Amino acid sequence: MTWQFRILVVANVTADSPELIAALTEGAGRARCSFTLLVPAPAGGRAGREAAEQRMEAALAAMRAARLDVEGRVGDQDAIAAVHDAWDPTQYDEVIVSTLPTGTSRWLQVDLPHRVERLTSVRVTHVVSQPKPATPHAEPTRAPERQGVLAPLAAITGKRPPHAPRV
């Protein structure tokens, strides 16, 4: 029987990023690997857990489409607490932490990759993923109000000019 590496992958916003999937695929190409995706909840309570589950399911689908052997779990909203709860040295050989770039990543502000390394005492690989481009949010536009020359006087007198549209 061949040795199989088990890798804990900690990701949230970047869980389905091309950079993370490429790093996992590269690792799986070098040795037989299985992955556990740990997605810390973005907020407390039921809403945070549901958001993390949706993100996890989308990421698992993308990873499995890349032919990766992966399972998933949702963790505490505090990423280090989530890793602490999930970590079992008999189950995992290493950890991959995926974050946004410096300046936009809250996980890098709290030095998560190094904290996970101190907690687990195993090699931690840090993958930096680029944020997804924002999709423009289309809102219906209102037609501009037509105001006549006497509109400023209407504000003073409180009367609407006869040609002004009703709002």
Token output for 114? 């190094």
Whether the model clears a pTM of 0.85, i.e. scores above it, the answer is: no
* H/E segment holding residue 72: strand 70-75
pLDDT digits (tens, 9 = 90+) for 96-146: 999 999 988 999 999 999 999 999 999 999 999 988 776 555 555 555 555
Encoded amino acid at 160, one letter? R
Angle between helices 79-86 and 112-120 (to 10 degrees): 20
Domain borders along the chain are: 5-128
Top-tier CATH class for 5-128: alpha beta
Residue scoring higher pLDDT (4 or 134): 4
Token output for 45? 């309570």
Across the strands, what pairs with 72? 37
- In Å, how far from its chain's centre is CA 75? 14
Q: Is 26 helix (H, G, I), strand (E, B) or coil?
A: helix
Residue scoring higher pLDDT (39 or 163): 39
Which strands make up the sheet holding 5-10, listed edge to edge?
70-75, 33-40, 5-10, 94-99, 124-128
Token output for 153? 């006087």
Distance CA(122)–CA(126), nearest Å, equals 13
pLDDT digits (tens, 9 = 90+) for 44-83: 899 999 999 999 999 999 999 999 999 999 999 999 999 9
